[in-house]
Every structure is written in structure tokens, then in C-alpha cells.
Amino acid sequence: MTAINVKTITYEQLAKVIDHSLLRPELTSQEVIEGCQLAARYHVATVCVKPCHVRLAAEQLKDSDVLVSTVVGFPHGSSVTEIKVAEAQRAMDDGAVELDMVLNIGELRSGNDEYVYQDIKAVCDAAHARGVKVKVILENAYLTDEEKVRACQLAEKAGADWVKTSTGFAPGGAILDDLRLMRRSVSEKVQIKAAGGVRTLDALLAVIEAGVTRCGATATAKILDDFKARQAGEQTSTGEVKIGGEY
């Protein structure tokens, strides 16, 4: 496998790994607008906004190459399935084309695999009927490795397009070992998303090398400015990679 570094990946490829996260509960509408403008300038994959801001983000980004994503059952995954489906439908009505849903963590830990499967499948079926993709958040900080593997397999069986490490609001975020485990636990048709604590270019390159195709980030400008600077020969890597934690 080719090593992932500033010589082996283009700016466009790197930018399109990033879902620029605008999920903090205190964000104002103006801050969301500014976040969308930043995302458009840097040509990232999506902005991931709270459900109440989907319509605003869609309006802001309508003339850009940046898509709108949002969250379902966030951040605990404990809404009943019918509410998750209704939330998904409203988000799609408002302009979301990718949905990051939280699986039911407690039901997974209880061993109620059929419930977890049906919960994910209901959202995936609703989304796929409208051409919308689904990322299933496992919230790995609360799970054993066996539970992570089961969650990945249930998500794939239910039709997930991605499995995702975390919400960014649990005690831990993206961990390289978890990403490698997730990559091994699903087929190639399911992608991997990292979220939580990926705040540097080195960390982003490391998760991509572990198999990630999408990553939630708030430090988008810092990461991509660093990439451009390094490509221009103005800066070199510091070496140590640290990831994990909250957004």
C-alpha cells in the first residue's frame, strides 16, 4: 500500500475527505453561515450541521461543490426508530444528502442485535429510496471490540454506506486501532468515517492510511492550510500523531 503523505495525495482528494463539523450546541445561525462559507472556500466534502440548520446550510451552499449532511438520533442514539425515520425524512426534505445516524448503543450492549439491525435498516431504507447515503455512528468509546465488530456487521447488513467511530461528544473519539478493526469488520463496499479529535494534518493523513474515506473535523482551515504550506515546501512534518477526544 502506498504511504499517505503530502506527496501521494492531492489537495482535492484530501479536502473531499473532510465533513466540516458544525454540531456544537451553542453555535448561532451566523456562525453556521460562516462555517458554510469556510467549507465552500476550502471545497470540503460536506458540512455536517444540526437538523435545525439543514435548510440554512443548503441555501448557503447551493452554488458550491459542498454537500449538506446532518445527524439523526444524535448524540445518544436512543430515539425510537419511528422518530429516527421521521427525522431523516425531514432532513432530506430540507436538503440533506448524507445522514449520520447514531445506532442504539444500549440495545447493542444488551445483545438485542435484531433491534439494532431493524433500527439502522429503517433509516437506510428511507434514505436510499431518495438517493441519500447513511453513515452509522457506533460510539466506540462505550463499546468492547466484540461490540464494535458486531455493530459494523449489523450496519453493513442493514445497508449502511459508512460506519463511523463516534459523535465527537463521548469520552473518546477516533483511535487508529478502532479504525483498523472497523475496516477489517466490513466489506469493501462499506466505507469508514473517523470523528472526534482529528485536528492536525498528520492525524488526518494517519486515519486515511488506516482506511478512512471521510473524517469529521472542526480544524478544517488549519489542516488544509498546513497541507498547502507543506506542498509548497514551507513547512515539514513534526512527526508525532495524536488523535482522539472531542471535536
Asked whether the beta carbons of 11 and 224 are under 8 A apart, the reply is yes
pLDDT of residue 234: 53
C-alpha cell at 72: 439523526
Residue 131: exposure state from Cβ atoms within 10 A (0-12, 13-18, ≥19): exposed
**Is residue 243 one of the residues assigned to a domain?**
no
In tens, the pLDDT along 22-64 reads 999 999 999 999 999 999 999 999 999 999 999 999 999 999 9
Name which of 122, 185, 184 is nearest 153 in CA terms: 185
pLDDT band of 235, cuts 50, 70, 90: very low
pLDDT in tens, 180-228: 999 999 999 999 999 999 999 999 999 999 999 999 999 999 999 999 9
Closest CA to 155 of 183, 118, 199, 188: 118
Asked if residue 69 is part of any domain, the answer here is yes
Task: Give this prediction's pTM.
Answer: 0.93
Positions marked catalytic = 100, 164, 193
Task: Give 113-118 contacts, CB < 8 A, sequence gap 24+.
Answer: 113/150, 113/154, 116/151, 116/154, 117/154, 117/157, 117/158, 118/81, 118/158
Q: Among residues 164, 159, 107, 114, which one has the least CA distance to residue 139?
A: 164
> Grid coordinates representing 39?
467549507
Q: Is residue 98 part of a domain?
A: yes
Alpha-carbon dihedral angle through residues 148, 3, 167, 99, given to the nearest 10 degrees: -100
Residue entry with cell 438485542: 112
SS3 228: helix
The b-or-e profile of 87-97 (16+ CB within 10 A means b, else e) is bbbebbebbbb
pLDDT of 107-158, one tens digit each?
999 999 999 999 999 999 999 999 999 999 999 999 999 999 999 999 999 9
> How confident is residue 243, by pLDDT bands cut at 50, 70 and 90?
low
Domains held by the chain: number: 1
- Measured between alpha carbons, how far is 127 from 182 in angstroms, rounded to an integer? 23
At 4, is the pLDDT very low, low, confident or very high (cuts 50, 70, 90)?
A: confident
The amino acid occupying position 243 is I
Neighbours of 211 (CB within 10 A): 18
What is the four-CA torsion angle of 98, 4, 205, 33, rounded to 10 degrees?
-40
- 40: containing domain: 11-231
| CATH number for the domain that contains residue 25 | 3.20.20.70
- Residue 2 is assigned to a structural domain of this protein: no
What amino acid occupies position 204?
Answer: L
4 lies in a domain?
A: no
